[in-house]
Amino acid sequence: MTIRTGELTRRSALKIGGAGAALTLLAPFAWAQGRSGLHGLSIFGDLKYAHDFKHFDYIYPSSPKGGTIRFQPPNWQYNQNTQTFNTLNSFVLKGDAPPRMELLFDTLMVRAVDEPDAVYGLLAESVAVSQDGNTFTFSLRRQARFHDGSPVSAEDVAFSINLLKKKGHPNITQIIRELSEANAIDSSTVELKLSGKQSRNLIFTLVSLPVFSKTYYSTNDFEASTLEPPLGSGPYGVGTVDAGRTIKFERVADYWGKDLPVNVGHNNFDEIRIDFYRDRQSSFEAFKKGDTTFREEFRSKTWATEYDFPALEAGKVKKYLLPGEARPSIQAWYPNGRRSKFYDPRTRRAIGLCFDFEWTNHNIFYQAYQRGQSYFENSDFAAIGEPNAEELALLEPFRDQLPETVFSTPIPTPKSNGSGRDRTLLQEASGLLKAAGWIPRGGVLTDESGAVFTVEFLINDDAFTPFLVPFVGNLKVIGIDASIRLVDSAQYQSRVDEFDFDVVMNALGLSATPLDGLSLMYGSEAADTSGSNNWAGIKDPVLDALIAKVPSVDSRAELVALLRAMDRILRARHYAIPNWTLASHRVAHWDMFGQPEAKPDYAFSPEATWWYDDAKAAAIGMTG
């Protein structure tokens, strides 16, 4: 799960009991059960690449190695931060780590990003699946090495997965809870045993986890915030570190796995450099000067009005759109439902009515966006029209617990007259707040005790202010004491992790087959789990029951029905306020790179698949 925050940044992209717990689970991986020597796994059994494939189709296999990309990451995960960093420990909740620390660590298998849900062996040469589909046995490549030359063993794999289950970031621990055991059978064989209650996607999460050196962490504290680079086995190691300002990842020249089919055409830059900026304008100025050479632009105003600097006009900088991923996403404001003032869905709906998207899109965003509607935007998981028979079969058992609107066409997000202060919508909001029990006193709304209704938007970048100010203004018109609180990046992350806010804005990009992560976003237990992505504090027994059905999903069609049913509930209860969506990447870079002809459907990772072009760099007077 990749987190992507706001209009401006994108931040990495995830088992509850209840009615679904009594289901008889359908056998996961029926196509693979009882088989050994498998070179790959797919959730529903469709592998594009044969066992003897040479490389993935979406890369350029003869891409040259060398050069530097000075990179502003468009996505990140776990405790990573693009504005500052104070630790190189990226897999725990504590601290702020730099993006791309995962480049240091190999994994059992890696995803093919031109398939929705397939993985192929990296550390693992092959995998066997038990008859019941609950035990996966991996044979490791004997040539795998850590950067100090020591072998990567089955003990390292088992140690790493058990460690992450016990002490990892909540976005790891919560997902892999149905792992029963990780055991080293011998030096090159590791066995992962699952509980039988897992979703089909759990094994994909497990095989994608970093593998650490057991020896290294026998003398180093895994949970410590530290700027000492950890021992890895992956394609890059940590080079220069200037805490909070710069980190350089250096390609490992003798990386053991560089010629594996899953790595051919990847990891082409000798150096990946990330510089950290406290504000967006400073980072943009660095790009204009060439201090940064790749940038994905998240500010529509900047894209529309500020890409007119000399280097671009001279053709030294390229600017264009690339298609987005075929994966569900949501970007929204999240009222913190742990706070009593946001308990009532009518209150949350009223707050959403005060955001004038049409005015904002025209006056601030240069007509760049479409209004968000669904919690699974840009995918076939978004609910449309009235529920079909499959969705009704999921929803009908809970009819007496659900709003009637769940069983009809979803209520769209409001469309204003574009004036910036649509009186009709504001009057509707006032009516909802009155029905929810808010009392007007002296021009402000209060609860029965007389406490004023306050709403504070927590942000970590002043660039959010232009579109929040008119939103806040409309809230004040109807009697809500609304405000904006700007805090530094570290304080912001700490407050979000501990759910110490009224409203935050966040965005999430999910996997193409989102089986795990749903509980972290919408499950009751995650509402009380620090660092989870359940920012809204959702505790809904019906959603819990539907999430509990995830392990029994046996086809993509069943998953579509399940997520559409969830989408209807989430939208009817107004847990979040969807804001806007864009189906493209706005990419700008200095013209010194080569790239594959076509972008794959399920990921965008220029630092992994692009390469440095000496001739192009020389032509524009750049070196690197």
Is the separation of the CB atoms in 122 and 106 below 8 Å? yes
Residue 17 has pLDDT above 50, yes or no: no
- Mean pLDDT computed over 51-73: 95
- Mean pLDDT computed over 429-433: 98
Calpha distance 91→89 (Å, rounded):
6
Mean pLDDT score of the chain = 91
So what's the pLDDT on residue 32? 66
Calpha distance 2→201 (Å, rounded):
16
Confidence at 218, pLDDT banded by 50, 70, 90: very high
DSSP 26: P
Which is more confidently placed, 64 or 200? 64
Calpha distance 267→609 (Å, rounded):
7
Which is more confidently placed, 416 or 553? 416
Is the separation of the CB atoms in 256 and 145 below 8 Å? yes
Calpha distance 317→620 (Å, rounded):
9
Long-range contact set of residues 127-131: C-beta below 8 Å, sequence gap at least 24: 127/36, 127/38, 127/41, 128/35, 128/36, 128/37, 128/38, 129/29, 129/32, 129/33, 129/34, 129/35, 129/36, 129/38, 129/41, 130/33, 130/34, 131/33, 131/34
Calpha distance 121→519 (Å, rounded):
28
Q: Which segment of 14-18, 112-116, 463-467 scores lowest on mean pLDDT?
A: 14-18
The separation between CA 150 and the C-alpha centre of its own chain, rounded to angstroms, equals: 33
260 conformational bin, left if phi > 0, alpha if psi -120 to 50, beta if neither: beta
Q: Exposure string (b/e) for 353-378, b if CB count within 10 Å is 16 or more?
A: bbbbbbbbbebbbeebbebbbbbbbb
> Domains, the chain, ranges and CATH?
67-276 (3.40.190.10), 329-581 (3.10.105.10)
Tokens describing residue 196: 């039988």
Calpha distance 393→325 (Å, rounded):
30
pLDDT in tens, 88-139: 999 999 999 999 999 999 999 999 999 988 999 999 999 999 999 899 999 9
Q: What percent of the chain has pLDDT over 70?
A: 94
Q: Which segment of 287-296, 331-340, 511-520, 532-541 scores lowest on mean pLDDT?
A: 511-520
Tokens describing residue 592: 């010194």
So what's the pLDDT on residue 553? 82
Calpha distance 141→233 (Å, rounded):
13
Which is more confidently placed, 335 or 202? 335
Edge-first strand listing for the sheet containing 118-121: 40-42, 118-121, 109-111
- Highest average pLDDT, of 38-52, 446-460, 503-517, comes from 446-460
Residue whose structure tokens are 């308990």 = 343
SS3 296: strand
Confidence (pTM): 0.81
Neighbouring CB atoms inside 10 A of 153's CB total 23
- Mean pLDDT computed over 538-553: 92
